[in-house]
Structure 1
Amino acid sequence: MTIKGQARRTVIQRRAFLKTAAIAAAGATTASRSGRAQAATQIQWISTTESAPWQTRPLREAGWRWDTLDLQIADSPTGGPMQGFGGCFNELGWTSIALLSEADREAVFAELFAPGKGASLNLCRMPVGANDFSRGWYSYDETPGDFALEHFSLANDQETLIPFIHAAKQHNPHLRLWASPWSPPSWMKKNGFYAEAVQFPGWPPNGIRPDQVGHEGEDMFLQEDRYFDAYARYFGKFIDGYRAQGIEIETVMPQNEFNSAQPFPSCTWTPEGLARFICHLGPEMQKRGVNVFFGTLERGNPDLLFRTLADPEAARWVRGAGIQWAGKDAIAVIRRQHPELTLYQSEQECGDGKNDWNYATYCWDLMRHYLSDGATGYMYWNISLLPGGVSHWGWPQNSLLTVNPTDRSYHWNHEYYLLKHASHFIQPGARRLDLDGTMEDALAFANPDGSTIVLLRNASSRERAVDLIVHGERISGLMPPDSFNTVQIGAKQN
């Protein structure tokens, strides 16, 4: 026999010798190589393809296949504990879900938020005032020069965001929230206007004048102590007002996408301007037991964060950072240089309103990138929209579900199932596990309950076999063509 033939025979013999889990629809029992029975280990394999979401699959018999991929999962975890997964409570999310029947609304909220049922969302974002998916522009105090904030009011949110969040908390009372503004009240800005750019071609005009246009690298917030002080107290009244409604907000970030002059609510800041404001914001939030994070950072330049942290007074208040869009290119450096900071992926890129499968596969790449590089919170963007997903300012975007206003029906989109493949299984407190082997398109986590979660992406147009080595045991399965897969090994029951 040739050396090549001997090597192949050795591989075949080794694969045959390693015993795998017995096939079962929802689980299997592993056995030791010596044949002595071990305690039963529950194994669940869930797959999603474009045409068949959330399908339970059997394991496969062990045995050599020429195209089998292998994945060795480390026993010891790395990185910080997962904080959770969620979306953003936008006004257009509520106005679309509100069209559903009471029974359908309850089903939607249970599927999104009830622990252990569906997506199990536990960590969500909300705006401070209007954002690009609100019904229109508003702030909580548009009275010019009202430094005493005598006209501060949450009346707008009583119609939308407050009932939206209460409906979610009915199914998850322990839901965690963080918040950021898209724009301060217009009278606190140099241009006296909520936006900083003209509308894109084909979008409805926003009424901005040429002299009101802002630019990246410019502090459009008025850099005076009296404005900083009033704005910090504005945040405080926001926290207090929501607390009076039974809604706790645990973290704030000073500005969404502070480098971006947008045709919808926005405000550009320099890192030094943010540092000056954080020195006022931090003490106000400390009074209320609320954390301050830096962000959100939408550029791939970590120095934008480091320049803010160079101010020692600002740095003492910053507990974490929100990172989105091109900020993904900065997260690895930030994690290495500031491992003490909690990092959130604060907004998954939002698509084009088509909600197609191709974009869902791109979003898997985003998820794997952020979670591999240190994000411990992962936020989807729009929870619900009407068909086409067009905002008040004309931008079509994707959403977890789409509500049809004609017959008041709804359906879950591909990105919902992708998010669920992670959020349903990965528990708060889970820690990432390092991987090795020929199966590179994967993530793995160790849950606090002792279970191991493995996420697998088969981008191939054909079925692929994969062998997982978990705690010395081999688990073999088949990934459908062009699929997302989650394998749960261990204690958690579903």
Structure 2
Amino acid sequence: MLKFKLNMKKPLLFLSMLSVIWSGSALSSLPIKAAGPSVEVWMTRDNLSTALQRQGDIVFQQDSPGNQRTIDVNDFLKYQQMDGFGASMTDSSAWLISHQLSDSKRAEVMERLFGQSGIGLSMLRQTIGASDFNWEMYSYADTAWDWNLNNFSINRDKPYIIPMVKAALTKNPQIKVMASPWSAPGWMKSTGSMIGGYLNHDSYEVYAQYLRRFIQSYQSEGIPIYAITPQNEPLFNGSNEYPTMYMSVDDQTKFIRDHLGPALRGSGLQTKIIAYDHNYDQYAYPRDVLNNAAAASYIAGSAFHHYGGDVTAMTTLHNLHPNKDIWFTEGGFGSWNDGFKNQIREMINVTRNWSKSYILWNIALDQNNGPSLLSNSINYGMLRIRSDAQDQVTYNNQYYAMGHLSKFVVPGAYRVDTNTYANSLDNVAFQNPDGSKVLVVANSENQNQTFKARWGNQSFTYTIPAGSALTFKWYGETTRDVISLKASANGKFVAAEDGGNSPLIANRDAVGGAWESFERINLGIGNYAFKSMANGRFVAAENAGASPLIARSGSIGTWETFQVASVSGGVTLRAAAKSQFVSADNAGASPLIANRSTASGWETFQISVH
């Protein structure tokens, strides 16, 4: 696939030559094109004075050179395919929606959460038995030493949890339901309680069957279970108030490999098994589980939370196990980390780091941040539904931050490439199955910022208010100025060898695909950048021009800027890095390098427009 990024991190210094225009087959002036696709614009301000409100549409125009910050949207380069965005219909959330809202208000809330006119949540993470946000502690097999699970039952979930999940599925049939246990039944554990301890080794098989029975029981209620994790936060064992269970790397590996995987597969269940389900800072845990080939054969990927470490851990794990997927399964917000700017930036950066999902914690909590088993809950729900009054609903920051993604990015969308300005203009882009494109931009600064969004040869400029987020959505097909270069030195086409990982060299007899193709980007005043179609990276005169040209830069600066001039027989490329001409050295047998103070045969190239 292709990867394009743009970030004007360094000024364009090489402006000494007069402006030139392309003419003939090699050089031609860029045509003036009519306005491009119309773009929807939706905005939320940090103080929610504007909250996911549609602004006036704008229109793509023919791109022109400029020096403002530029977000380059490249829908040719696709990353992970999204499962969706959602939250947890905990016992607390389901009870509040079911019991504290009238029928009409409940219908309104469910539409705003899951419906097309609302924010279209497309994932639910359900607890398997009790979590910290429950009225009481329970499992589905509380009869001690019931090794055959004769008394297994999900009846505790039937009065309001299952009905609320089914109501969500009715609103949005695309919803994927994931599930995680906070603890095995107490009698299976070292403590004899759902609080703390670890799973006894002689309970591995019965616990695997317990999870299998949960999946089958929920599916018999009309709720397919898309994925399951063996344990929520397996490295946490410190609470004395709510269910927890420690599960080491070795224990989880053995449990999945020898018990859970065979139990689900042997029953014909297609439910995915996802490892870990804990914080970024211990990413070595899922790495090591996945390093066991037998366990990994049952595992779809890994799940993460945000309560420790850095979001880039997901990319680190992806690079180690690129054939395994990644999900973000719990993002709790409360008194310690609330704030719209913080939330939208996190959601953007989670998806930029290979996660197929972003799942918040509780859908709804009350005015006391409950109901909860915690004596002092500091968590906030997406919604606040008062438990001391009827139909009193407040939509919190999380709702609007989530809506900037969930309302526009549907299951099956692919994240596509953009460059970002971290902690300033964070952004992420997607392409939906219907071809529509979505760009989400967050301004973390305390002042307005003007930026350009460029999509192929078209762009628009927009000013984003301080502390705000924008979602842009449009349809259409991009157009790009794609060219190939042929060296006069040997009559061969220049290739970004090894998919762009090796220096450029003129060694191809024909243009066979992406390796010999480059997007030409007009920077003005005769300056151009070239982006390899092989990897979406900009060609750079590395080491200030002292090293061979290679396509591995994610932004445009001096090293990525070339002055192009028409000469007899073609064009010359002069690197701004040190004002030297690019040469197909050694009559084209060596990689291209910007090392010549004058231009002759080896420094001449022909440009073909695709």
Instruction: Say if 1:150 and 1:436 are closer, same or farther in 2 by CA, change over 3 A.
Output: closer
Question: Map of 1:187-202 to 2, 5 A cutoff?
Answer: 187-196=187-196
Q: In the alignment, residue 433 of structure 1 is paired with which amino acid?
A: V
Q: In the alignment, residue 259 of structure 2 is paired with which amino acid?
A: H
Secondary structure of residue in 2 paired with 1:300: helix
Provide the C-alpha distance between the structure 1 equivalents of 2:398 and 2:65, rounded to a whole number of angstroms: 32
- Is it true that 1:260 corresponds to 2:236 in the alignment? yes
1:251, CA displacement in angstroms?
Answer: 1.3
In structure 1, the partner of 2:383 is: 401
In structure 2, the partner of 1:272 is: 250
TM-score by length of 2: 0.67
Residues 83 and 176, structure 2, Cα contact 8 Å, conserved in 1: no
Bigger relative CO (Cα 8 Å, ≥ 6 apart): 1
Secondary structure of residue in 2 paired with 1:441: strand
Secondary structure of residue in 1 paired with 2:201: coil
| Aligned length in residues | 440
Instruction: Say if 1:372 and 1:417 are closer, same or farther in 2 by CA, change over 3 A.
Output: same
- Is it true that 1:237 corresponds to 2:213 in the alignment? yes
- Is it true that 1:42 corresponds to 2:38 in the alignment? yes
In structure 2, the partner of 1:52 is: 50
Instruction: Say if 1:186 and 1:466 are closer, same or farther in 2 by CA, change over 3 A.
Output: same
Instruction: Say if 1:408 and 1:72 are closer, same or farther in 2 by CA, change over 3 A.
Output: same
Instruction: Say if 1:317 and 1:65 are closer, same or farther in 2 by CA, change over 3 A.
Output: closer
Secondary structure of residue in 2 paired with 1:366: helix
Provide the C-alpha distance between the structure 1 equivalents of 2:225 and 2:57, rounded to a whole number of angstroms: 43
Aligned-pair RMSD on alpha carbons? 2.9
In structure 1, the partner of 2:151 is: 151
Residues 68 and 464, structure 1, Cα contact 8 Å, conserved in 2: no
Q: Which shows bigger deviation, 272-281 or 291-300?
A: 291-300
In structure 2, the partner of 1:475 is: 460
1:253, CA displacement in angstroms?
Answer: 0.7
Q: In the alignment, residue 43 of structure 1 is paired with which amino acid?
A: V
Provide the C-alpha distance between the structure 2 equivalents of 1:135 and 1:321, rounded to a whole number of angstroms: 30
1:334, CA displacement in angstroms?
Answer: 0.9
Unaligned segments of structure 2, at least 5 residues: 1-11, 20-29, 478-610
Provide the C-alpha distance between the structure 2 equivalents of 1:79 and 1:168, rounded to a whole number of angstroms: 29
Q: In the alignment, residue 162 of structure 2 is paired with which amino acid?
A: I
Q: In the alignment, residue 263 of structure 2 is paired with which amino acid?
A: E
Provide the C-alpha distance between the structure 2 equivalents of 1:67 and 1:387, rounded to a whole number of angstroms: 49
Provide the C-alpha distance between the structure 2 equivalents of 1:122 and 1:142, rounded to a whole number of angstroms: 32
Superposed CA deviations along residues 241-265 of structure 1, whole A, max 9, x for unmatched, are: 1122111112111000000013311
Provide the C-alpha distance between the structure 2 equivalents of 1:167 and 1:60, rounded to a whole number of angstroms: 37
1:306, CA displacement in angstroms?
Answer: 2.6
Percent identical: 26
Of the two, which has the highest radius of gyration? 2
Q: Which shows bigger deviation, 294-303 or 335-344?
A: 294-303
In structure 1, the partner of 2:393 is: 410
Instruction: Say if 1:91 and 1:252 are closer, same or farther in 2 by CA, change over 3 A.
Output: same
Question: Map of 1:30-429 to 2, 5 A cutoff?
Answer: 34-37=31-34, 41-49=37-45, 50=47, 51-58=49-56, 68-98=68-98, 99-114=100-115, 116-196=116-196, 214=197, 220-224=198-202, 227-261=203-237, 262-263=239-240, 264-278=242-256, 279-286=258-265, 287=267, 288-325=269-306, 326=308, 328=311, 330-352=313-335, 356=338, 359-390=339-370, 391-394=372-375, 395-404=377-386, 405-429=388-412
1:440, CA displacement in angstroms?
Answer: 4.2
- Going by fraction, where is helix more abundant, 1 or 2? 1
Provide the C-alpha distance between the structure 2 equivalents of 1:253 and 1:146, rounded to a whole number of angstroms: 23
Provide the C-alpha distance between the structure 2 equivalents of 1:60 and 1:37, rounded to a whole number of angstroms: 14
Q: In the alignment, residue 469 of structure 1 is paired with which amino acid?
A: R
Instruction: Say if 1:92 and 1:67 are closer, same or farther in 2 by CA, change over 3 A.
Output: farther
Residues 67 and 464, structure 1, Cα contact 8 Å, conserved in 2: no
TM-score by length of 1: 0.82
- Going by fraction, where is strand more abundant, 1 or 2? 2
Unaligned segments of structure 1, at least 5 residues: 12-32, 197-213, 215-219
Instruction: Say if 1:251 and 1:75 are closer, same or farther in 2 by CA, change over 3 A.
Output: closer
1:453, CA displacement in angstroms?
Answer: 1.0
1:147, CA displacement in angstroms?
Answer: 0.2
Provide the C-alpha distance between the structure 2 equivalents of 1:349 and 1:437, rounded to a whole number of angstroms: 25
Provide the C-alpha distance between the structure 2 equivalents of 1:329 and 1:73, rounded to a whole number of angstroms: 21
Residues 72 and 455, structure 2, Cα contact 8 Å, conserved in 1: yes
Provide the C-alpha distance between the structure 1 equivalents of 2:251 and 2:233, rounded to a whole number of angstroms: 14
1:97, CA displacement in angstroms?
Answer: 1.2
Residues 259 and 299, structure 1, Cα contact 8 Å, conserved in 2: no
Secondary structure of residue in 1 paired with 2:81: coil
